[in-house]
Amino acid sequence: MAGATRKAVVLASGGIDSSTALALARQQRFEVHALSFDYGQRHRRELEAARRVVEALGAARHIVATIDLRTFGGSALTAGIEVPKGRDPAAMAAEVPVTYVPARNTIFLGFALAWCEVLGAEDIFIGVNALDYSGYPDCRPEFLQAFERLARLATRAGASGEAKYRIHAPLVAMTKAQIIRAGHAAGVDFSLTHSCYDPTPDGLACGACDSCILRRRGFWEAGLPDPTRYAPSR
C-alpha cells in the first residue's frame, strides 16, 4: 500500500460503521489488514458486503476467520430466536437486545490482537459507536479502554514493552448520521454495504429491524440518499 506508514488490523463486517472505520484507517495512511468473521450468523449477506467494501477501498490482505458461535447460541443472530421489528430508538437503547451476540466484540478483538502479534502491528480499528449502538455493552468506550489494557498485558510484545497496542474507535462518539457523512467524505460507497439483521432470501433489507431503522434514520438525518434496497412494506 503505497505511502503507508504502519500496519493496522481493521475489523470489517460489511456494514456502514466498519466500512467507514476502514476508510478512515486508509486516510490515516495505515497499511490495512482487513479481518472479517464467518461466525455462524443467520445470513451471509454481510460477508459478501465485507468482500465488496474491502475490494473497493483497498487492503494489503483480507482474511475471513471461521468460528461458530452457534455452538453457544443465545442471540437472534446465532440461534432460532426471532429478530425484533418495528422498535423505536428509545426502546432499542433501553435494554440489551436479543440481537446482541454474547462476547462477540471481545472474541473479534482477540482475533485481531493475535493477527497484530503476527504482523508486528500495534493498531486495531473497530467501527463501534456508543450513541446509536442498540444497547450493546461491547460497544462502549469503557470496554474498549479495558481491552486496550488487556492487550498490553496479555501479549509477548506488550508485556516486554516492545509494543503499545492501541484500539482505534473513531466513530465511538458519533451518531449514525455523522458516521454516514464521515464515510461519504472518505469515499465509502454505501451501496456496497449491508446492515439488515433479517434480509429476504433475495437479499432485500427488511426495513424493520433495529439495524435497518437506524440506517434509514441515519441517511435521512445526514441528508444523503439511502442506496439500500428494502423489501416492500406489508
CATH number for the domain including 94?
3.40.50.620
- Domain residue limits at 70: 6-222
For residue range 125-136, list pLDDT tens digits in order: 999 987 765 568
Q: Quick one: cell of 226?
A: 439511502
Residue 206 lies in a domain: yes
C-alpha cell at 107: 472474541
Position 71 in a domain: yes
| pTM over 0.85, yes/no | yes
Which sign, positive or negative, has the C-alpha torsion 78, 82, 85, 90? negative
Three cell numbers, residue 34:
482487513
Q: 168 in a domain, yes or no?
A: yes
- Is 1 contained in some domain? no
At 77 the three-state DSSP class reads coil
List, in sequence order, every residue forming a beta bridge with 31; answer none if it has no partner: 7
Residue 234 lies in a domain: no
- With 0-12 / 13-18 / 19 or more C-beta atoms within 10 angstroms meaning exposed / middle / buried, residue 98 is middle
Share of the chain above pLDDT 70, in %: 96
In a domain, 151, yes or no: yes
Answer yes or no: is 213 within a domain: yes
| pLDDT tens figures, 127-175 | 998 776 556 888 889 999 999 999 999 998 888 888 899 999 999 999 9
Q: What is the number of structural domains in the chain?
A: 1
pLDDT reading at 12 higher than 90:
yes
Residue 230 within a domain: no
Closest C-alpha among 113, 58, 191 to residue 126: 113
Burial bucket for residue 32 (CB in 10 Å: 0-12, 13-18, 19+): buried
d(CA 147, CA 143): 6
